[in-house]
Structure 1
Amino acid sequence: MAKNTPARGSQVPDFTRPALAPGLLSAVILMATVALLDNDLYFIVRFIVSILVAIMAVFAVKAEKPLWLIGLVPVVLFYNPIFPLPTWPFTIDPGILFIITMTVPLFLAAAGVFIKVRDETDRRSGGSRR
């Protein structure tokens, strides 16, 4: 048996999940900072979440999964700290804002799991990029 062939059952998948880390990280940040909804520090949370979800949107485009953009783009716009939507141009009830903040992490975690990008490494040449 050749040394370069993988053992039975140890097949390496031909895809990666690059949106998993930003999806889970933004979900954890949103759920951990629910207490800051009425605080000025929530501005920083909005920056971080908006950037991470924008990164996920780029990976969704790269993975050729444009349907995930239907949910990712509104999340980027909703948590955008430059033009904050919950206070501009209209006001959102704090109870509804709490519900949104608790349900968006579920969507972000699901998007992180299901956005798969084809792996571009060449397995025969030892893992170098094409």
Structure 2
Amino acid sequence: MAAEAHVPTHGVLGAGAVVALALGVALLFSAGGSAALVAVFAGAGIGLAGGATVALMARKALGTRRLRQHNSLVGRMGVARGADSVFVDGALWRARQWEFEGEAPLARGDPVVVERVNGLTLTVRPANEWEVAP
């Protein structure tokens, strides 16, 4: 069942683990001298509890796919390290300048603001005076 949390099998690995655990408990009870009915009920109880756990885990895992990704870099301030790279939040990123008519290319040391993230490339624009002032 631990592999189910790390591998997207949508409950297949977890269901196999639950079946194996339920059969193991039933065999353990029957080998211990209990009545066959007790072994069946013990295995069924373990199977129901494990099945509910796997169903909950699969439901939660599939629910995370519907979550919207939030990008924490949009709106952050950084410093240009040239025309094609910026330093933002302690990391050096590839950059593309936001296109405005008649705007000069970014120079080293210019303050910038992140407008968009596309993979590992940030689209930035020069920061306004009010954004730079403390």
- Give TM-score, length-normalised by structure 1: 0.31
Larger radius of gyration: 2
Q: Which structure has the highest helix share of the two?
A: 1
Q: Which structure has the highest strand share of the two?
A: 2
